[in-house]
Structure 1
Amino acid sequence: MRQIVLDTETTGINPADGHRIIEIGCVELIDRKLTGNHFHVYINPQRVVEEEAIAVHGITNDFLEDKPVFAQVADDLIEFIRGAQLVIHNAPFDVGHMDAEFARLQAGYQPTETFCDVLDSLKLARDMRPGQRNSLDALCKAYGVDNSSRQLHGALLDAEILADVYLMMTGGQTALNLHNRQRGQQGASEVQHQEIKNRPALKVLTASADELEQHQQRLELVQQEGGKCLWLE
């Protein structure tokens, strides 16, 4: 199973008002394991970034002047995410901006959900934690994910943090030392890819007969004391 954890930064809130994407960050998971592959690009939006948005992500108009426009990175983005399940926090926001960008190209580009499945991690968190705060920062605190470097929003950094949160939230394990974590605006100005090859196989340890017996006794004790033990069902 291939999943891409994705985040964007934009010039403002609503693409219907002409707001554009200025940064896209993606990290790859295969079978719930971080591979080290990522996609990161800054984009010249061909319009002014609102001051309110700059206060959130710190990406200025001057910084974006020499960056590629969306049309120059669209094919690379689609190639990276095609066929994957996208994991996005508040997916309607990011997918809405991506689809607006594809629509502007007027060259046969289709909406995101025609070539990717989309999982909204915000909706997932609300289902799992009803009535609680489920912002990315709140989830980092709840699941013990270090976000101390997140002084400002950034698409690649937020995608990396969300990958950690998503794996913890859904019961998996996560590597916290991702490669090439760029902080702030001085990250990549071009599409970047990184691949780790020839990784050694993980060592698998199996429980002994004695350990299995002790485990079974513990489960039965939980059941006897009035708890509901799912492993015995």
Structure 2
Amino acid sequence: MREIVLDTETTGFNPETGDRIVEIGAVELYNYMPTGETYHQYINPRRAMPQGAFEVHGLGDEFLADKPIFADIGQSFLDFIGDAKLVIHNASFDMKFLNAELEWVRLPLIPFDRAIDTLAIAKQRFPGSPASLDALCRRFGIDNASRTLHGALLDSEILAEVYLELIGGRQPDFGLSSGGRREQTAVDVKQDWRPKPRTAPLPPRLTAEEEAAHGELVNELGDGALWRR
């Protein structure tokens, strides 16, 4: 089962008053596990950014001036998400902006029933408790120290970890309570999917002293030692 964990950054709170998306970040999950495939795009909103609100994000007018407009990236975004379910924290906000942008450039809208709202899941599981992304990271012991500066891709990566905890950890079908389980839905299942090889080998964990000691042991075993073959 393929799902896309998604986040956006916007110029404000309402597309109907001219606010626009300035960043989209998304992470692909397959059977609840990250595949390593991501989508990340900065977008020129063609309007002045609110003073002071985005300088800390690095998303000022000068930075966004040479970025593509949504019309230039809308189709590639739709191609990436395909028909997968979209995992979003406070889904109504992001879906409102995404569909406004898609409608303005006459691209297909995304049905709201494709959204899985982690905010709603958190409120149902932990009624009366804080349900922000930061609060959920604290609850589940997820390291979000790098979230000092918000960013759509970073928030998507963190939300993917939160989502897996909300549905019962990395093996959701073994959850003992109904709140920790969720029904599978048939969406763009890739039967031939396989984990991708690492882009770089893991660094060795042996110390120089351990490696030297091992070499001495092999020498003592003689030329017939297994490690010499």
Give the TM-score band, short-chain normalised: 0.7 to 0.9
Q: Are the aligned partners of 1:9 and 1:57 in contact in 2 as well (CA < 8 Å)?
A: no
Q: Are the aligned partners of 1:12 and 1:49 in contact in 2 as well (CA < 8 Å)?
A: no
Deviation sequence 1:166-189 (CA, Å, 0-9, x none): 111211239xxxxxxxxxxxxxxx
- Supply the distance in 2 between the matched residues of 1:196 and 1:76 (Cα, whole angstroms): 23
**Cα deviation, residue 87, structure 1:** 0.2
**Cα deviation, residue 28, structure 1:** 0.4
**Cα deviation, residue 52, structure 1:** 5.4
> Which portions of structure 1, spanning 4 or more consecutive aligned residues, are displaced by more than 6 angstroms?
none
Mark the CA change 1:21 to 1:160 in structure 2 (over 3 Å): closer, same or farther.
same
Where does residue 24 of structure 2 map in the other structure? 24
TM-score by length of 1: 0.71
Structural RMSD (CA): 1.9
Residue 111 of structure 1, aligned match among 102, 109, 112: 109
Where does residue 39 of structure 1 map in the other structure? 39
Where does residue 72 of structure 1 map in the other structure? 72
Which ranges of structure 2 fall in alignment gaps of 5 or more residues?
A: 172-193, 199-229
Aligned residue for 1:73, secondary structure, equals helix
Aligned residue for 2:116, secondary structure, equals strand
% identical aligned pairs:
50
Give the counterpart letter for 1:64 in structure 2.
L
Deviation sequence 1:124-143 (CA, Å, 0-9, x none): 11011100000000000000
Give the counterpart letter for 1:30 in structure 2.
Y
Give the counterpart letter for 2:14 in structure 1.
N
Where does residue 142 of structure 2 map in the other structure? 145
Asked whether 1:59 is paired with 2:59, we answer yes
Mark the CA change 1:56 to 1:135 in structure 2 (over 3 Å): closer, same or farther.
farther
**Cα deviation, residue 53, structure 1:** 3.5
Which ranges of structure 1 fall in alignment gaps of 5 or more residues?
A: 175-194, 200-233
Deviation sequence 1:150-199 (CA, Å, 0-9, x none): 1121100000000011111211239xxxxxxxxxxxxxxxxxxxx96358
Where does residue 191 of structure 1 map in the other structure? none
Q: Are the aligned partners of 2:121 and 2:166 in contact in 1 as well (CA < 8 Å)?
A: no
**Cα deviation, residue 91, structure 1:** 0.5
TM-score by length of 2: 0.73
**Larger Cα-atom Rg:** 2
Mark the CA change 1:94 to 1:65 in structure 2 (over 3 Å): closer, same or farther.
same
Where does residue 3 of structure 1 map in the other structure? 3
Q: How does 1:210-221 map to 2 (within 5 A)?
A: none
**Cα deviation, residue 93, structure 1:** 0.6
Mark the CA change 1:54 to 1:2 in structure 2 (over 3 Å): closer, same or farther.
same
